[in-house]
């Protein structure tokens, strides 16, 4: 959408696609660059799947547990601190003692945007420590627990199978 909203002419696409709706900030950017009369057509729906090995115990994770596993900063003692959680059981003793490792899309992906909106931001609302600090809700940790696996779904499946 950045290139689409950057201007009009042969150097800019007339049609683009995304796995999410266009944001109001993007519509404003388009308008400021002369891109008007945007028509949004829903082609289908994007899906987000949390998967683990069939050989592993089944986990029924809550949004809050996923958020605490992946957030760059987490609430502790009434303030936000760098995420200290290394194992799922650090978050909740009922969870596996396995290391937290989540393969997911990069920040350039609309699926990542959807994940942040539907999981991270929604769970974040349950923690008063984030009040007035909404950007922290969307920030994903960068210490190896979240692995950007690209936007190729088949490659992600292959990485899952290999792990």
Predicted structure pTM score: 0.76
Q: What is the pLDDT of residue 73?
A: 96
pLDDT digits (tens, 9 = 90+) for 36-88: 999 999 888 777 888 777 777 777 899 999 999 999 999 999 999 999 999 99
pLDDT digits (tens, 9 = 90+) for 79-130: 999 999 999 999 999 998 999 999 888 888 888 888 998 999 999 999 999 9
Nearest CA among 19, 78, 13, 83 for reference residue 45: 19
Q: Are 63 and 115 in contact (CB under 8 A)?
A: no
9-22: buried (b, 16+ CB within 10 Å) or exposed (e) per residue?
eeeeeeeeebbeee
Q: Helix, strand or coil for residue 43?
A: coil
Distance of CA 120 to the CA centre of its chain: 7
> How many other CB atoms are there within 10 angstroms of residue 64's CB atom?
17
């Amino acid at each position: 959408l950045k290139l689409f909203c950057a201007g009009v002419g042969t150097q800019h696409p007339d049609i683009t696609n995304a796995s999410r709706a266009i944001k109001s900030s993007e519509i404003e950017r388009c308008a400021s660059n002369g891109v008007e009369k945007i028509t949004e057509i829903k082609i289908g729906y994007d899906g987000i799947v949390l998967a683990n090995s069939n050989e592993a115990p089944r986990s029924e994770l809550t949004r809050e547990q996923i958020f605490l596993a992946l957030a760059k900063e987490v609430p502790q003692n009434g303030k936000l601190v760098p995420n200290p959680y290394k194992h799922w059981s650090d978050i909740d003793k009922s969870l596996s003692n396995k290391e937290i490792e989540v393969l997911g899309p990069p920040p350039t992906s609309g699926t990542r945007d959807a994940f942040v909106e539907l999981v991270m931001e929604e769970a974040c609302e349950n923690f008063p420590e984030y009040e007035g600090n909404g950007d922290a809700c969307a920030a994903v940790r960068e210490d190896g627990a979240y692995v950007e696996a690209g936007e190729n779904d088949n490659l992600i499946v292959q990485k899952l199978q290999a792990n």
